[in-house]
Amino acid sequence: MPGIYHQVLRLFYRELLIEFRSKEQLTTMFIFALTTVIIFQFSFEMRTGNVKILIPGVLWISIFLSSILSLNRSFSRDHEENALIGMLSTPLDPLSIYISKVLTTTFLLCALDLILLPIMTILLNSSIFYTNLIPVLILGNIGISATGAIVASTVANTKSRETLLPVILLPLLLPVLLGCVTATGAIIDEKPLQQYGNWIQIVAIYDIIFTFASGLMFHFTIEN
Amino acid sequence: MRNRPEEKPHLNSKPISKLTGFGVITLVLVLISTYMSLVSAPLEAIQGVHQKIFYIHVPLAFIAYASITVVFIASLLFLAKNDSKWDRLARISAEIGILSTTIVLFSGSLWGRPVWGAWWSWSDARLVTTLVMWLIYMGYLMLRSLSKSNSQTVKIASVIGVLGFINVPITYFSVYLWTYLHPLPTLQSSTERPESSILVPFLLSFLAYLAVILVIGIVRTNLEKDFDQLEILKKQVEGNRWE
């Protein structure tokens, strides 16, 4: 049996292959995120006049809600087609399944960011391309994926998984939302790193703690 | 409360059970503490009569946080030892935690209106953290009630019980940092030490509410045990039917 590093790579390749063939998750996420941006634009523009202050919130809410669609699909697909039972019947380490799910979700969210940022720049008429935004986006996406993967795996066994995932996941992600929105706002306002560095640290600490804790407990969610 | 089948014949021979005795003591404690906190404790100089909410709000806040800590420890023990008693304890503590957190949030809001001038303040880390904690553990209870009761559900609920607790300090810290951007509530911190005329009714209220929660906990535990017993009996009946 290959080591965990190879297991993760194989499973990651498997996830990407499924996505490449079906193009299901990324398309749904993108259309949903785009709809969210448009809804926010219509809802708030007339009241504020200044769209720039809305950008951090709109960006992260779009990413958060889109991630729920992706996570739900990723886990329910494995359950529906008994792929998980197939994987578990091999001597795979459950940790490698968790890491591969986190990597795939992070990858898809980063791809979504790449499409969403230029679209938002056009639709909201303000540039949001800043180099400092890259670590914030990556750390935020890892946080969403690390917590999202374990919660999605937890609720995948239940009848009402579509409703339970956002109900349980969103409160758990509050520190990531606060950190990412505040840091993105500071970057767009071109403030110095000292003013938002703490927030990047909080999101990084959250990522480390939740990845570690979830990795330790993931096997409980896929047993039986 | 339903009784276990084997206990039925003994029920009438013990009209006053230990629980009833404890319940009476609890009722007396609640009455005394309510009298002391509402009547004999002095009016606070600045807040006046509104400060009386302190005697219900603070003890229940302690109990709420203690219950959630119990959920965390019991969930960890369940995951480690796979013993259903720990899961039962986690579930009951989560229910008690939700009940006390709900009262804490409502009483805090009622207290905040006259004192801070607002029902709610997003700039108080404790408030926001408590609300987020309430949401997480409501999700935990929803997960348990919306899924089939089996060993897998119990395990996944325990995972959420652990993750929810880990999230509390991170949320508190991030909201605390976030408050630098917002004005702080007017009466957030007080360095004055409470006098004994306030401290005694407070401690008594704390004991009284702790006793109420213990009574609820014991009743709830007995009920859960009865449910387990019922499940076993149902399985036995099913087994006999097939034989």
In a domain, B11, yes or no: no
Segment among A34-38, B35-39, B95-99 with least mean pLDDT: B35-39
pLDDT level of residue B13 (50, 70, 90 thresholds): very low
Q: Which of B206, B217, B219, B213 is nearest to B32 (CA)?
A: B206
Which pair of tokens denotes residue B116?
A: 């801070």
DSSP count for chain A of H helices, then E strands: 9, 0
Contact A204, A176 (CB under 8 A): no
The three-class DSSP label of residue B161 is helix
Domain count, chain A: 1
In a domain, B135, yes or no: yes
Contacts of B160 in chain A (CB under 8 A): 151, 154, 168
In a domain, B189, yes or no: no
pLDDT level of residue A105 (50, 70, 90 thresholds): very high
In a domain, B240, yes or no: no
Contacts of A199 in chain B (CB under 8 A): 177
User: Which domain range does residue A132 map to?
Assistant: 4-223
Contacts of B138 in chain A (CB under 8 A): 167
Contacts of A202 in chain B (CB under 8 A): 170, 173-174, 177
CB contact under 8 A, B174 and A205: no
Question: Does B193 have pLDDT greater than 70?
Answer: no
The three-class DSSP label of residue A89 is coil
Residue range B124-132: average pLDDT?
A: 85
Question: Does B9 have pLDDT greater than 60?
Answer: no
Contact A171, B132 (CB under 8 A): yes
User: Does residue B11 or residue B181 have the better pLDDT?
Assistant: B181
Q: What is the pLDDT of residues A173-187, one digit of tens each?
A: 999 998 999 999 999
Q: How far apart are CA A107 and CA B219, in angstroms?
A: 50
pLDDT level of residue B170 (50, 70, 90 thresholds): confident
Q: Which of B74, B71, B89 is nearest to B138 (CA)?
A: B71
Among the partner residues B146, B152, B156, nearest to A159 by beta-carbon distance: B146
Contacts of B140 in chain A (CB under 8 A): 168
User: Does residue B181 or residue B83 have the better pLDDT?
Assistant: B83
Q: What is the pLDDT of residues A48-57, one digit of tens each?
A: 667 778 889 9
pLDDT level of residue B11 (50, 70, 90 thresholds): very low
B contact set with A (CB within 8 A): 79, 132, 135-136, 138-140, 142-143, 146-148, 150-153, 155-156, 158-160, 162-164, 166-167, 170-171, 173-175, 177-178, 181
* Predicted local distance difference test score (pLDDT) of residue A55: 87
The three-class DSSP label of residue B44 is strand
User: Does residue A209 or residue B172 have the better pLDDT?
Assistant: A209
Among the partner residues B139, B146, B147, nearest to A171 by beta-carbon distance: B139
Mean pLDDT (chain B) is 81
Among the partner residues B140, B143, B171, nearest to A174 by beta-carbon distance: B171
Residue of B nearest to A177 (CA): B174
User: Which domain range does residue B72 map to?
Assistant: 23-37+49-184+199-224
Which pair of tokens denotes residue A149?
A: 């993967």
Q: How far apart are CA B224 and CA B212, in angstroms?
A: 18
pLDDT level of residue B178 (50, 70, 90 thresholds): confident
Question: Does A104 have pLDDT greater than 90?
Answer: yes
Residue range B169-187: average pLDDT?
A: 67
Q: What is the pLDDT of residues A19-47, one digit of tens each?
A: 888 888 888 889 999 999 888 888 876 66
Within 13 A of A189's CA, how many CA atoms are on the CB side?
15
User: Nearest C-alpha of chain B: how many angstroms from A21?
Assistant: 31
Contact B217, B67 (CB under 8 A): no
Question: Does B1 have pLDDT greater than 90?
Answer: no
Domain count, chain B: 1
CB contact under 8 A, B146 and A164: yes
Q: How far apart are CA B97 and CA B90, in angstroms?
A: 10
**Site of tokens 């509104």:** B50
pLDDT level of residue B242 (50, 70, 90 thresholds): low
* Paired strand residues for B48: B44
Q: What is the pLDDT of residues A120-173, one digit of tens each?
A: 888 888 878 888 899 999 999 999 999 999 999 988 878 777 888 999 999 999
Q: What is the pLDDT of residues B194-211, one digit of tens each?
A: 667 778 888 888 999 999
In a domain, B138, yes or no: yes
Query: Which of B77, B138, B143, B172 to mutate to probe the A interface, most A CBs <10 Å?
Result: B143
Contacts of A209 in chain B (CB under 8 A): 166, 170
Among the partner residues A163, A168, A178, nearest to B160 by beta-carbon distance: A168
Residue range B224-228: average pLDDT?
A: 84
Question: Does B191 have pLDDT greater than 60?
Answer: no
* Predicted local distance difference test score (pLDDT) of residue B182: 47
| Phi, psi (degrees; rounded to nearest 5) at A128 | -125, 30
Question: Does B186 have pLDDT greater than 80?
Answer: no
CB contact under 8 A, A154 and B146: no
Contact A158, B167 (CB under 8 A): no
Among the partner residues B156, B167, B174, nearest to A172 by beta-carbon distance: B167
Q: What is the pLDDT of residues B148-162, one digit of tens each?
A: 767 778 888 899 999
